[in-house]
Amino acid sequence: MQIRDLPYPDPGIPDVRSGPRFLLWLGRNQLGGQLKALAWGLLHFTGIGGLSLGAGLAVQAVVDRSGGRLALSGGLIALFGAAIAIGDTMLHRAAVTNWITAAARVQQLLARKTAELGSALTRRVAAGEVVAVSTGDVEKIGWFVEAVSRFLAAAFAIVVVCVGLVIYLPALGVLVALSVPVLALAVLPLLPRATQRADVQREKAGKATELASDTVAGLRVLRGIGGEELFLGRYRAASQEVRRAAVRSARMWSLISAVQVLLPGALLLAVITYGARLALDGRIEVGGLVTVYSAVTLMLFPLRHFEEIAMAYSFSRPSARRAARVLSLERTAYEDERGGLDDARPTGDLYDPATGLLAPAGLLTAVVCGDPDAAGRLAERLGGHAAVEEKSPSVLLGGVALDDLPLDAARASVLVQDKDPVLLSGTLTELLDVPASGAVDPEKALAAAQCGDVLDALVQASVDGSGDPMRSRITERGRSLSGGQRQRLALARSLVTDPEVLVLDEPTSAVDSHTEARIARSVKELRAGRTTVVFASSPLLLDHADRVVFVHEGEVAAVGAHRELLRDEPGYREVVTRETEAEQEAGQELEQEQRAKRDPIMEPAASRAREEIEESA
């Protein structure tokens, strides 16, 4: 796989049983790239090791005053230099390719899983963790995958050099061969503690990032209540914790680097001291001493890859564990292609067996829940976004379980608009350019969502001077708009889609009452003949619904018209009017007392009026 061939046609099915298994799966899927990098790495490190031989032969040729051997040594040095240059260039090319393609594979897997889970993903995994996995963790995983081949090439080159030194000059070669494993493994006892400190640093950095994003998102509200300094203080404290954790982690890694410098330096001193004595005694030639010294010096570079692979694994292992945890999530307990159903979209009533909620086809059904969180979870269930741990049966559309439908068919049949919908950046035309039935054009949808003032605001903020609101740009997440304006644009987008079933979770919570009443009337007219479910507690919306369903403690408690439920259902009245049961009883007692006080006074006048009517008759 080359970078130009990305994205993968099929990133594959990952092994997500654990972080190391996920890393092994990635390595197996890039076996060709790993072998290519290994081959170029062997050429590169063999050239490095061969330089020491050429240098030793050249020095010995000078000592022996042999021009022929000096020329041969120069040719060997040139040959090994070319091997180093070519090997290093191609190794870097292959390593970067392995890094990018591994990261791209993980990102494709995460994107596929996100599309599969939808809103259920953030219920089971924190949004900050998903962002961390798809950004920083992906890079660390790619780093380890590409470092493996370079490490193997370095390890093989070191073994070859040690064996060659033992054969070429046993007196010094044995010393070097025994010392190299100590140099390579000396940092292993320090790695667990270094990894632990690095994990603590990443955890604190994630919390600080989450706090910063929450502060920025709610900055307008914080300024309104004067709480920005409080949250800024919290972020300062969190950032200081990150700094202290980073310093502690850096101290451990600096200690590891110091060990990697100290021990090779001690080996060089030992080789020089012992080799000089052997040369003075005439047991080795000067060229042999230069060869061993050069080999040990040049071998320090491959040894650095032992430290790198240890760091790469310690950083990538928790990243791979987090990625595997996200990728192991499943949309439902059922498979998407069960029962041999095709992509045909069912029609009919929407029914939830878990709560008993029924939304008849073609009607506007309003759902009232006392718990807003329970309402959000129920709205997601109606769209087939239930999590795996929910053991309740699937929602039915026209008698067909949404869990039995292919994912695309289920999403096209039932559209759920969240309580806090996201507006993507771009022009208004691009925002409303969504898969749709074609029955509702953008102008009708914008009019039904009462977006007239939103269009005026977009024209005023437009920089192209065209005066066309459809060409005006919307900033990231619609931050330049108010909460009510964002809600109405999101509602217009949902109306343009025109699904068989539209589920709206508090679509007008940030809209004033007059606009809310017009939206309720317009949406009912536009969605005539289509099934619409609105989760709300506003009387203005409830009064326009064809039927109202009151859900209490996870079950349907009452069904009827808004005014009937308001009169006959105390629990419903408490949720809609925000009055407690005690306040309702107190109001009824007060009304009875006032009626009792009025009756004695009004009774004589009423009697005289009845007598006058009878006489005139």
Query: What ranges do the domains of the chain cover?
Result: 7-327, 351-577, 580-617
Q: Judge if the upstream peptide bond of residue 7 is cis by omega within 30 degrees of 0.
A: yes
Q: In this predicted model, which residue has the larger pLDDT, 603 or 456?
A: 456
* Comparison of pLDDT for 459 and 42, the residue scoring more: 42
Answer whether residue 2 shows pLDDT above 80.
no
More confident residue, 228 or 299: 299
Q: What are phi and psi of 548, to 5 degrees?
A: -120, 135
Per-residue pLDDT band at 526 (split at 50, 70, 90): very high
CATH match of 7-327 with 3.20.20.70:
no
245: Cα within 13 Å, side-chain hemisphere: 20
**33-44 pLDDT tens trace:** 899 999 999 998
Cα–Cα distance, 45 to 292 (Å, whole number): 16
| Average pLDDT score over residue span 84-100 | 92
SS3 track for 245-264: HHHHHHHHHHHHHHHHHHHH
Per-residue pLDDT band at 119 (split at 50, 70, 90): low
Q: How many angstroms separate the CA atoms of 511 and 506, rounded?
A: 10
Q: Where are the alpha helices (DSSP H) in 471-510?
A: 483-497
Q: Which of 46-55, 229-238, 598-607 is predicted most confidently?
A: 46-55
**In the 8-state DSSP scheme, what is residue 328?**
T
Question: Structure tokens of 610?
Answer: 């009845």
Q: Determine how β-strand 414-417 pairs with β-strand 501-505.
A: parallel
- Do 351-577 and 7-327 have the same topology in CATH? no
The larger pLDDT score, comparing residue 599 to residue 444, is at: 444
Worst-scoring range by mean pLDDT, 1-5, 307-311, 432-436, 586-590? 586-590
Closest CA to 511 of 462, 450, 463, 593: 450
Nearest to 153 by CA among 97, 105, 84, 104: 84
Residue 560 pLDDT: 94
**Amino acid 364: pLDDT:** 95
Nearest in space to 201 (alpha carbons), one of 266, 245, 153: 245
- 386-436 confidence digits (pLDDT tens): 654 456 788 999 888 887 777 777 878 899 998 888 887 788 888 888 888
The pLDDT, as a whole number, for residue 123 is 64
Joined together, the tokens standing for residue 441 give: 């054009």
CATH 3.40.1160.10, domain 351-577, yes or no: no
Q: Which two tokens stand for residue 605?
A: 């006048």
Q: Which two tokens stand for residue 338?
A: 């069960």
Question: Which tens digit of pLDDT belongs to each residue from 196-221?
Answer: 887 788 778 777 877 776 666 655 55
Residue 158 — very low, low, confident or very high, per pLDDT cuts 50/70/90?
Answer: confident
CB within 8 A of 151, min separation 6: which ones? Answer: 305, 306, 308, 309
Backbone torsions φ then ψ of 359, nearest 5 degrees: -115, 100
pLDDT, tens only, 550-581: 999 889 999 999 999 999 998 999 899 876 55
Nearest in space to 329 (alpha carbons), one of 123, 87, 42? 123
Q: CA 603: distance to chain centroid?
A: 73
